[in-house]
Structure 1
Amino acid sequence: MKTNELNLSTKTLARTTGFFYLLIITGGLISGMFVRGTLIDLTNAEITLNNIIQNETLFRLGFLGDLIMVLSDVMVSVLFYFLLVNVHKGLAILAAVFRLLQSSVLGANLINLFKPVIMIQGAEKMSTEQLTELSSDVITQMQVFDYGYLISGVFFAINCLLMGVLLYKSADFPKFIGIIIFIAGLGYMFNSMASFLVPSLIEISAMVMLFTAVIAELTFCAYLLTAGVRNKSKESQL
């Protein structure tokens, strides 16, 4: 069985990538949906502040989920390069660069997520007026974090578009995988651009992004974990 520069078979490399891809999805869901989705209400600063104060440990665990997601994303960037470099080296490099740029923005943005934990220290000694001001500052901080996420989404959208082309051309993956990843890239780009340029479309763009991303990324991750790559008489050498 032929191996690549990492001395792994193509199927093993694909399944390893799928494992880290699953960590990204799991970390993102835990931190975004089950932690921030439960504790953060951008329309109610007082409730958000109370939720974070009363559930500080849970909020910290959400931060850990995001940190694991970012670290796994760096691994996936590198592993996808080795999986797809034989298709087109230039596009594979570009795809890796844009995904690493996304990881860099997400990593830097984590300070905005953790800052409320620092801000609430000593909150039990604050006056009502101080707590009101603190709640407003926390909401602003979470809004900054959300927009940092959207900025990273631009880099990720470009990565998905490039990945879509590479996967479509690759003999190791079904063409429909490349198509749905490319469509997901369009969804991510629409969501990010709408949030910055046409705020009235935020709800629609978020739904489009969620629909396309869930189908594409879950399908791709499942394929990597189960099939790895297409079964062929001879495995492609990366």
Structure 2
Amino acid sequence: MIVNNEQTRMIKIARTTGIWYLMMAITGILGFMVFHSQIFVSGNPEQTLSNLVALESTARIRLLLEFAIVLSQALTAVWFFKLFKDNYEWEAWTLGIWGMVNAIAIMISAISIASAIGIANSDMSITEDKVLLIQILQHMISNAWGIGGLFFGLWLFPMGYIVIKSKRLPIWLGRVLILGGIGYLISTVIRYAGIDFSFNRFLMLPATIGEFWMIGYLLIFGIRPIN
């Protein structure tokens, strides 16, 4: 009975982790892939400034989605720690800390978005100054996500390691997560080394597959009992 109660508790924790992870994925897709390009035009701060003024409500939705990404990323990291800490304490700490660094990287982006909205809609009379500041903030947003890719990849290593070592989730899930982490790191290094590699974005495909696989498994099955 004690074993059954403990397994029930662990499944509940696993499914809660899956919910936070799913929220992070949904808000990330909506915020970064759907709304972001409607406001922030790469290489065109003038158009971005116009969008921030004319589409202020859309820009604020983009900002709120960034808040949601930060919150759900932080909660996902905490719940992963809670899920694995009893048997894999060191790895769970690593997973939780690196997940929190992800949240901090995105928080820098959120601060920059909020600043861009404020500057664009301020009483500053010199348009050229606004454009320059918007350009700087655009670079900060882009690089917060870009350099954040280091830790977006790193946190997949302890996650994958625990999956493989514990055998409480599919072993191949752990392997795909680790492969995804490697892809993220290589992709980030290639980007900032200035190497022109047209297939760079495909390096992150294993991470996408692994993370959605993890979300689905946690939500549907939870976690297997200890053998």
TM over 0.5: yes
Deviation by residue 1:104-148 (Cα, 9 ceiling, x = unmatched): 23223421121111111246x84xxx3344234312211111112
Q: Say if 2:200 is the partner of 1:208.
A: no
Which residue of structure 2 aligns with residue 217 of structure 1? 211
Which residue of structure 1 aligns with residue 5 of structure 2? 2
SS in 2 for 1:146: helix
Partners of 2:202 and 2:54 in 1: how far apart?
31
Q: Which amino acid aligns with 2:216?
A: A
SS in 2 for 1:3: helix
Partners of 1:61 and 1:229 in 2: how far apart?
35
Partners of 2:60 and 2:135 in 1: how far apart?
17
Partners of 1:151 and 1:122 in 2: how far apart?
30
Which residue of structure 2 aligns with residue 110 of structure 1? 110
Partners of 1:199 and 1:87 in 2: how far apart?
42
Structure 1 segment 7-156 matched on structure 2, within 5 A: 9-122=9-122, 126=125, 130-156=126-152
Q: How many residues align?
A: 224
CA deviation after TM superposition for structure 1 residue 91, in Å: 1.5
Partners of 1:37 and 1:203 in 2: how far apart?
20
Partners of 2:114 and 2:197 in 1: how far apart?
25
Partners of 1:91 and 1:69 in 2: how far apart?
23
Task: Name structure 1 gaps, 5 residues minimum.
Answer: none
CA deviation after TM superposition for structure 1 residue 180, in Å: 1.2
Deviation by residue 1:151-171 (Cα, 9 ceiling, x = unmatched): 322123211111111111123
- TM-score w.r.t. length of structure 2: 0.89
Root-mean-square deviation over aligned CA pairs: 2.2
Partners of 2:226 and 2:86 in 1: how far apart?
8
Q: Which amino acid aligns with 2:158?
A: L
Which segment drifts farther, 46-55 or 130-139? Answer: 130-139
Which residue of structure 1 aligns with residue 184 of structure 2? 188
The higher-RCO structure (CA 8 Å, 6+ apart) is: 1
- The one of 158, 166, 170 aligned to 2:154: 158
Partners of 1:208 and 1:132 in 2: how far apart?
38
